[in-house]
């Protein structure tokens, strides 16, 4: 599976430095709510250590965990996706250290520098595709017609 840590090492030094210039290290204690929809355009993170439960909220249903994220994983890049009635969130299941990025600054960087934009968007698309593939059965369970009248249960 592709991770942002792997993709960062594959980027040219110039692209990596330009991207990392918009980051700083943050720590979250276990149980912290790291990402919610209202934060969607503000920031994103690359997890350095610890684990995170990525959850999905669908109107009228209980939130369900769709993925467990760990070191190297990308969290909170939903500004690339259109808004939906459902939204994603994430909670630290263990203490988490991460690189936090200013998403607006990264968007401006990508728009101003085509090489950076191409490298970042291609890498992020690969990470998101891998995550969707890994979470496919969970998503089908949540959205499949056969599940429409069943409440969602938290995944452990």
Q: How far is CA 57 from the centre of its chain?
A: 15
Phi, psi at 129, each rounded to 5°: -60, -45
Beta strands 64-69 and 52-57 are antiparallel
Sheet containing 43-49: give its strands across: 23-28, 96-102, 43-49, 74-75
Per-residue pLDDT of the chain in tens (156 residues, 90 and over written 9): 457 777 788 888 988 898 899 999 999 999 998 877 655 557 888 899 999 988 877 667 677 777 888 998 888 765 444 455 556 788 899 999 999 998 888 888 888 988 888 888 887 777 777 766 766 666 656 555 444 444 444 443
pTM over 0.75: no
How far apart CA 71 and CA 105 sit, in angstroms, is 23
């Amino acid at each position: 599976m592709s991770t942002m840590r792997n993709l960062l090492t594959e980027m040219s030094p110039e692209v990596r430095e330009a991207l990392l210039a918009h980051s700083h290290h943050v720590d979250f204690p276990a149980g912290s709510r790291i990402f919610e929809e209202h934060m969607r355009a503000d920031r994103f993170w690359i997890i350095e250590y610890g684990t995170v439960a990525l959850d999905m909220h669908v109107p009228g249903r209980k939130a369900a965990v769709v993925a467990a994220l760990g070191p190297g994983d990308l969290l909170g890049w939903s500004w690339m996706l259109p808004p939906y009635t459902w939204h994603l969130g994430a909670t630290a299941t263990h203490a988490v250290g991460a690189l936090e990025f200013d998403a607006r600054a990264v968007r401006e960087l990508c728009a101003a520098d085509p090489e950076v934009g191409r490298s970042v968007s291609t890498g992020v698309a690969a990470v998101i595709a891998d995550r969707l593939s890994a979470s496919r059965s969970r998503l089908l369970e949540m959205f499949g017609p056969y599940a429409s009248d069943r409440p969602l249960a938290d995944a452990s």
